[in-house]
Amino acid sequence: MQIICAFYLFFVPLLPKLLPFRNIKFKITFMIGVFDSGYGGLTILNNIRQLLPQFDYIYLGDNARAPYGTRSFDVIYEYTLQAVNYLHQQGCNLIILACNTASAKALRTIQQNNINPNELRVLGVIRPTVEVVPQRTKNKHVGVLATPGTVTSQSYVIELLKQDPSLIITQQACPMWVPLIEAGEHIDSGANYFIEKYLNELLSKDPLIDTIILGCTHYPLIQSKIEAFLSRSNRHISIIAQGEIVANSLEDYLNRHPNIAQRALDQKIHPTLTHSANRSTRTSLANDPSPNSLFLTTESATKFSESASLFLSEPILANHIELHT
């Protein structure tokens, strides 16, 4: 009996470590989290991984509750905070809100009220985007295409005017674009109606616009259709997409905060396996230049994996999670 009891006390606590990987998550001391309401943030992640392949990443898409753009401030804040807390619990010490609506409606409150900057940094995508606008526009007429939530927040207007008070800014809400992209219907010809509809509405408000900000991380997925329409209309307009801009801004941020970057590099070692969620890609060690990424979603893991694989042009194995208060 004593042998059995000793075996039970010793062996049972080890069971979670011996179960298949589908019940295991990995946790590295420093990781970068990328959060979006859906697939759009993959455009940000893709650019960041290309520029900074030495880091590890967790991508979290709250697809089950997308789109965020039509939701209230309180709901967006609550959902975003849930995601931030979850990513921090998984070991992320730096989190990018790769969602303009979350950046507009939740970022500042979370930074001020919910995190300890010595333990966690949370960054958005709006400020890096507006910083490049004064160099891109020639006549100071700037258009912003965004979700209703981002437009209502006036975040782009406020931040753009900080860069240059003389800018003439026109916003256009595009409530149908994110649902079309999330449903995978943006590649169909039927999506052209809504793409052209919102572009016509924007340009009718200000025909002099020479620069357009794609103020939602989903929108680069239809950028080719936007550019095709503008070309057919004989309009020479500069399109600002956020992926490369945010990646460059993050690299600059890490260069300006070398303690964060050095900590990440020094502690990029063999991962410590703990509980829940499984790994989607291979482990990269300190001398492996390829990024190591874990993909999480609140929707069907199969559906997300299939769609994300198309967006990133690489096989993706996502894991389903639940976000709670």
pLDDT at position 144 is 98
Average pLDDT value for residue range 289-293: 59
Between 80 and 8, the more confident residue is 80
Please count the other Cβ atoms lying within 10 Å of the Cβ belonging to residue 309.
15
Q: Is 18 a domain residue?
A: no
Which of 22-36, 141-155, 159-173, 188-202 bottoms out in mean pLDDT, i.e. has the lowest? 22-36
Does residue 202 belong to any structural domain of this protein?
Answer: yes
| 3 within domain boundaries | no
Higher pLDDT, 270 or 98: 98
Whether 258 and 204 map to the same domain: the answer is no
Mean pLDDT value across residues 117-146: 95
Assigned domain for 20 exists: no
**Domain edge (last residue) among 188, 219, 241:** 241
According to the model, what pLDDT value does residue 42 have?
Answer: 95
Is residue 2 very low, low, confident or very high in pLDDT (cuts 50, 70, 90)?
A: low
* DSSP-H helix ranges across 206-257: 223-232, 243-256
d(CA 14, CA 277): 18
Residues 226 and 191 occupy one common structural domain? yes
pLDDT top residue among 321 and 28: 321
pLDDT digits (tens, 9 = 90+) for 213-241: 999 999 998 999 999 999 998 899 999 99
Q: Is residue 78 located within the same domain as residue 171?
A: no
Residues 100 and 36 in one domain: yes
Final residue belonging to a domain, choices 241, 270, 296 = 241
Residue in 249, 255, 8, 283 with CA at minimum distance from that of residue 129: 249
Average pLDDT, the chain: 84
Q: Evaluate whether residue 139 is within a structural domain.
A: yes
Q: Is there a single domain that holds both residue 131 and residue 234?
A: yes
Averaged over 10-17, what is the pLDDT? 43
Residues 155 and 183 in one domain: yes
Clarify whether residues 184 and 102 are in a common domain. no
17 domain residue, yes or no? no
Q: Is the N-terminal amide bond of 67 cis, ω within 30° of 0?
A: yes
Domain membership of residue 29 (yes or no) is yes
Torsion of CA 242, 247, 252, 254, to 10 degrees: 130
33 and 46 both lie in a single domain: yes
Q: Are residues 191 and 296 in the same domain?
A: no
134 and 106 both lie in a single domain: no
Assess whether pLDDT exceeds 60 at residue 14: no
Specify the pLDDT at position 269: 42
pLDDT of residue 168: 98
Rounded mean pLDDT, 167-189: 90
Q: What pLDDT, on the 0 to 100 scale, is given for residue 20?
A: 38
281 pLDDT more than 60 = no
Instruction: Check residue 325 and give its pLDDT.
Output: 67
In a domain, 199, yes or no: yes
Domain match, 134 and 236 both: yes
- In angstroms, the CA 155 to CA 152 distance is 8
What's the domain range around 184?
A: 127-241
CATH number for the domain harbouring residue 161:
3.40.50.1860
**Hey, which residues are catalytic here?**
99, 216
Of 224, 241, 258, the position where a domain reaches its end is: 241
Instruction: Look up residue 112 and give its two tokens.
Output: 């001020």
For residues 213 and 240, is the Cβ–Cβ distance under 8 A? yes
Mean pLDDT of 70-88: 95
Query: Are 252 and 263 contained in the same domain?
Result: yes
- pTM to 2 decimal places: 0.79
- Percent of the chain whose predicted confidence (pLDDT) is above 90: 62
**How many distinct structural domains can be found in the chain?**
2
Q: Is the pLDDT of residue 40 over 70?
A: yes
Better pLDDT: 285 or 267: 267
- For residue 264, pLDDT over 80 is answered with no
Choice between 284 and 210, residue whose per-residue pLDDT is larger: 210
